[in-house]
Structure 1
Amino acid sequence: MEVQFLNNTFSFNLKIDKFDIPAEAVYPVFFIGVFMYVFSVLSNGTMLALIVTQRSLHKPMFYIFFSLPLTDLVGITCSLPRLLVDIITQTNNIYYPTCVLQGFLIHLYGGSICLNMMAMSFDRYIAICKPLRYNSIMSPLIVSCIIALVWGLDIALILVLFALQARLPKCKTFIANVYCNNPSLLQLTCGGDSTVNNVYGLFITGFLQIGSVSVQLLSYVQILITCISRSQPDARIKAINTCLAQIITYFIFVTVSAFNIISYRLENASSNTQKICSIVMFTFLPVVNPVIYGIKTRDIRNALFVVVKKHKVTCS
């Protein structure tokens, strides 16, 4: 009866796991989280605004890059605010539809990081290895197709993942994580064959990770070969600098993901350590990415300086 009830209503309450935070640390943790979120929203929002408003950034590279700060905003917004509310209120309740939406957006964020990095590395490969053909290859139509493919493929893969999960009967109401995702939603089921879900989940993970690593590795190896073969040192440095921010971002993403996986494999790892490692993936990158790209991407720095200079002149 309980299984039938949960499946038919789709609006039942779930209890979600929480951090074990000492009472005296609740407010400091809350305000640190608020600061991180506000900084991420302002910095990523600034980058989006610069790309939209500054003509100097109206280039294929930045049209493709636009998806990255947008994705970061999705990742941190769907995970951190609800977690902060739970920390301060100690309620730890979530409606099933809200849980599904959060899980969908979190998986969308993870897939988008991999696909966007593939697209950005391809753009840099064309720009550095085939500079004379760059404008003809990266035409507005091709750039639009690349962006549509990244988002369309990501949404399609995650929609199928959650459609497979939704068909299984639910009879449990405890989410064994501090946020909702596909594995935690699968743990609510009792009865039904989840083999297809597990196989498809592994397929998505393998496809995104192996595909992302392969495309980026091939692109950056070709870029490195091209840079080494150039006789002008300044050209080599400029070419490498255009790729450095992307390489750093992806390295951080892979490192954080690895720590998350390893934390759940270590028997001595505390529950809080595992939860911190899992949430860092959706909060750390959206905070550091704008800093990395702001420091390492000259066009973005210059566009920001132009806006600040205009603002100072207007105010004076």
Structure 2
Amino acid sequence: MGNLYNISSVLVLDRFNLSSETVFPAFLFATLGYMIILFCNLILILTIVLNKSLHQPMYLILLNLPINDLIGSSALFPQVIKEILTNNRTMQYSACVVQAFFIHIYAGGTVFILTAMAYDRYIAICYPLKYNTIMTNAHIMRLITVLWMSSLVLIGVLFFLLLRLPRCRSELTHPYCDNPSLLSLVCADTTTNNIYGLFISALSQVIANGMILFTYLQILVACFRSKRSDTKAKALQTCATHLIVFLLLECLGLFTIISYRINNVSPHLRRFMGVSTLIFPPAVNPIIYGLKTKEIREKIVHFYRNKIRPS
């Protein structure tokens, strides 16, 4: 029975099936994409951290989004770039588990952070006179701690349940590592893992969608009751940009989760949607929340004029 299980520490990943003509364009696209994501998210982080005028509840919560995006993209891109460049499909099991863990931390963290941002906008628009009383620094720190700890605990348990099971296969059906692909290597009963995975997915979706639906309905009601057209326009713009990011993540993420449970879904489509979840939100978020936010945009322009442009 001991020979039944493959205890090799090396896994073989599914290849991207790139022809010799497309290897360089793919490498260039992946490298430039990662550099753009790094640059834009780091600029957003530094802009908020280095400007005391932005040390407000809205921006302190927003600060967590580029940090989380860097976690997700950094878990994916270096391994993908290495695979494209070297055509090496092998990966250490421990490295695969670490990659999968941080990819799931990114996915869960994004949902919780966007929910916290919706809550902040709800208080700001519906209870403007009480905003500073409610959204104190202590309350913000508790909120940020809860969202990160919730993600860490939920994902930590998910991978604890995975690592207790024996493996008897070493070939993944995915070009990168995540919980479902690692679970496919297991030769044991995975019912508990499947139930828990569905439970945390459903729980996060109910909390996030319920909170965002409630807050946005309240915000819309407050906007239509407001007699100030500038306040109404600004609130609606904030909600619209927030909804774009949230719906993009939801569509990509839910399709990826459901596709693992439908055998007829094309593996190429599943692979594309899974990678898109880790590419598009980290690339789009700094643009939407940085360039579209007047205060942040002004600080970036001010920094460029004073520090970068030669005198």
Normalised-by-shorter TM-score class = over 0.9
1:188 aligned partner: 185
Candidates 210, 228, 236, aligned match of 1:214? 210
* Code of the aligned partner of 1:89: T
More displaced, 256-265 or 12-21?
Answer: 256-265
1:122 aligned partner: 119
Report the Cα offset of residue 185 of structure 1.
1.1
2:167 aligned partner: 170
Find out whether 1:32 has 2:66 as its counterpart.
no
Paired positions, count: 309
Kindly provide the CA deviation profile for residues 99-158 of structure 1, in whole angstroms up to 9, marking residues without a partner as x.
110010011000001100110000000000000000110001100000000000100000
Counterparts of residues 11-30 of structure 1 (less than 5 Å) = 12-30=9-27
1:200 aligned partner: 196
Counterparts of residues 34-183 of structure 1 (less than 5 Å) = 34-183=31-180
Candidates 228, 231, 239, aligned match of 2:235? 239
Provide structure 2 residue ranges, at least 5 long, that are not aligned to the other structure. none
1:226 aligned partner: 222
Kindly provide the CA deviation profile for residues 253-276 of structure 1, in whole angstroms up to 9, marking residues without a partner as x.
11222443576648373x333312
Q: Secondary structure at the match of 1:23?
A: coil
Please say if residues 263 and 277 of structure 1, whose CA atoms lie closer than 8 Å, have aligned partners that are also in contact.
no
Rounded to whole Å, the distance in 2 between the matches of 1:4 and 1:263 is 28
Rounded to whole Å, the distance in 2 between the matches of 1:141 and 1:261 is 36
2:291 aligned partner: 295
2:302 aligned partner: 306
Q: Secondary structure at the match of 2:21?
A: helix
Report the Cα offset of residue 3 of structure 1.
5.0
More displaced, 214-223 or 243-252?
Answer: 243-252
Kindly provide the CA deviation profile for residues 246-295 of structure 1, in whole angstroms up to 9, marking residues without a partner as x.
211101111222443576648373x3333122111111111111111223
Candidates 256, 260, 266, aligned match of 2:256? 260
Alpha-carbon RMSD: 1.7
CA change 1:268–1:136 in 2 (3 A) is closer
CA change 1:5–1:187 in 2 (3 A) is closer
CA change 1:196–1:312 in 2 (3 A) is closer
Rounded to whole Å, the distance in 2 between the matches of 1:258 and 1:167 is 27
CA change 1:122–1:282 in 2 (3 A) is same
CA change 1:3–1:54 in 2 (3 A) is farther
* Code of the aligned partner of 2:139: I
CA change 1:261–1:207 in 2 (3 A) is closer
Please say if residues 118 and 212 of structure 2, whose CA atoms lie closer than 8 Å, have aligned partners that are also in contact.
yes
Structure 1 consecutive aligned stretches of length 4 or more whose deviation exceeds 6 Å: none
CA change 1:224–1:163 in 2 (3 A) is same
Please say if residues 6 and 170 of structure 2, whose CA atoms lie closer than 8 Å, have aligned partners that are also in contact.
no
Q: Secondary structure at the match of 1:24?
A: coil
CA change 1:97–1:3 in 2 (3 A) is farther
Q: Secondary structure at the match of 2:22?
A: helix
Please say if residues 263 and 273 of structure 1, whose CA atoms lie closer than 8 Å, have aligned partners that are also in contact.
no
Provide structure 1 residue ranges, at least 5 long, that are not aligned to the other structure. none
Report the Cα offset of residue 211 of structure 1.
1.1
More displaced, 259-268 or 288-297?
Answer: 259-268
